[in-house]
Every structure is written in C-alpha cells, then in structure tokens.
Amino acid sequence: MNKQRRGDGSLRHLITLEDLTRAELDALLEHAQRYVCASGARPPMNRALDGMTIGNLFTEPSTRTRVSFELAARRLGAEVINLEVQLSSRAKGETMLDTIHTLESLHFDGFVIRDSEPGVVAHVAANVAAHVSVFSAGEAHVSHPTQGLLDALTVRQHKGARFEALCIAIVGDIRHSRVARSAYEAFTALGVGELRLVAPPGLMPEAGLFPAGRRYATPEQGLMGADVVMMLRIQKERMAQAEIPDGDQYFARYGLSAARLRLARPDAIVMHPQPMNRGVEIDSAVADGPQSVIRDQVRNGVAVRMAVLETVLRPRPVRA
C-alpha cells in the first residue's frame, strides 16, 4: 500500500515527492501561487481548516520551516500547537508515536514532523488514526518535500513553467542534503531540461542516486550556462569531524562568488534554502545581490504549505 495516499489515490499525507505526478505538482504550485503575496501586503487568509488542530513536532532545529508551517495553518483558520519534543516526554524515552497517540486523544487532525532519523515520519503516518494526516518538515538526509515544492515554485515564478527549457545546477553538499533530494524529485517530475550536480567527491551522492543528474567536479564546469544555481549548506551535523571541509578552502574551490556566478547565464537566479554560511558556500555580495531569490524562497514557503495543508486536509470529493 502506498505510504501517503488514500485508497482513491488522493494524498492523505505528504512524506515524499517521489511519487507525485507532474499534474499533481502543477496543481499544488498553481494552488500555492494563489497564496503568494507581495511583501508588505496583507497576506491572504481563509477558514478552509476552521476547527482543525495541527501539532508541530520538531526534533531538529528549524526557523523558516516551523514558522511558515505555523503561519500557513493559522492563515487557513486552524489552531496550531508547537511541541518542544526534545524538552518533553521524548527525552524521557517516550517514543514519537506515544506522544502522537496522546495528542490524537486531544483531537489533533494533523502533525507536522521534522526528525533526524530516517523513517520516523512514515512510521508515524502508518500508525495514526484514519482521519489524521502527517506532513514531513524534513526527514534526516532523505527528504524535505515542502522545500522541494517551494524551490520549484520559486523557479517557476522567475523562469516560467517550461522546465524543459531550463538548466539547473545544484551545488555543494548534495550527499547529505534532503533539500537536494526533494528538489531533484520535483525538478525531474516537472521535466527539467538539464540537471547538474556540482560537488567535491566527498559531498557527491553515492553512485546510482540522482540518476538523471550530470555530475561535475568543479563549479567552473558545472555552472557554465546554468539558468538556476541552487547552493546548499554543508550539513556538518550529518558528518564525522574528519569529513567536515575547511571553510576557507571550500569557499576558494566551491563557494559562489560574483566571479563564479558570471559563468552562469546573465539572468541566472541564485537560490539557497538557508541557513546560509556566508563566506563558506556563498559570498554575501551574491546572497544579497540582484540575482538572489533567496527571500522569495522564504516567502513562497508559507504559500506552498498553505496549498499542501489544504489539499491534504480538505480533499475535494473525487468524481467517479
């Protein structure tokens, strides 16, 4: 049985983008686009999730993802409870699932979960009551589906919906990155023309993963003519001490400076999921420069999460 779909094929949870079709991705992105608003404008709100309660359970640090999931749920009229999982009963040995079952008795309708262990999100999803939905907010190095969607939405806004025409370069610690995995799934399902993976050997994913990606050892080769340059943070927390590259050396070989960015197309956009290590994977002048769409990514995070919450928790009746 599919781990995230109902019997009728609709999405009951969002754990991964791996089985989403292009039509489903397009529908989610179009739905999200309706919730995008200009900075300074009053954000769109409705009562689509009126009476529902969502719990945020994060066992890894998060700023943007947690806040934007919370804002998304509130702007759709849901009540949101943030649970400090490290501080509460999980630290005393209670499993994530026991916590969830306790909360189910308190009439929660959905759980947003970030966890450092692969499989926990899917395990919870497989064991919650039938009316409850689970949303991944980042699973170990494995996936980060709403980030993949907001990255796709950001590309679409700046480069149009014809992904076939685009060359996207993902640069940096791809090996340990859930952001890269979900972005890869979204971009390939949307039909991207060319997808490049640019990383030093130790940060390149194992052979066989990212099968549609062309591998490049240096940004000098990998950035040439790219439309989109997606930089990644070095995931020190997922590496042994000896594997962590020296920041200055890394910047010299792989960091995105203004000079390196000139290898890409003149109208290329620069993305980064944040948090950024300025001066390690990206120069401040580029992160804050005219080609950067990093703030758009953050803004799009709320819109995408509104679309996901609404699609999953308020499915339209399926016509026979």
Contact residues for ligand NCD, defined by CB under 6 A:
64-65, 138, 144, 147, 178-179, 233, 273-275
Please state the closest distance from residue 173 (CB atom) to ligand NCD, in A: 8
Q: Name the residue nearer to ligand NCD (CB basis): 13 or 233.
A: 233
Measure the CA–CA gap between 244 and 77, rounded to whole angstroms: 43
Q: Name the residue nearer to ligand NCD (CB basis): 52 or 232.
A: 232
Measure the CA–CA gap between 285 and 209, rounded to whole angstroms: 33
Please state the closest distance from residue 127 (CB atom) to ligand NCD, in A: 24
Residue nearest to ligand NCD (CB): 233
Q: Name the residue nearer to ligand NCD (CB basis): 159 or 272.
A: 272
Is residue 311 within 8 A of residue 11, CB to CB? The reply is: yes
Q: Name the residue nearer to ligand NCD (CB basis): 55 or 172.
A: 172
Measure the CA–CA gap between 309 and 278, rounded to whole angstroms: 33
Measure the CA–CA gap between 117 and 131, rounded to whole angstroms: 25
Q: Name the residue nearer to ligand NCD (CB basis): 90 or 181.
A: 181
Q: Name the residue nearer to ligand NCD (CB basis): 109 or 296.
A: 296
Q: Name the residue nearer to ligand NCD (CB basis): 139 or 283.
A: 139
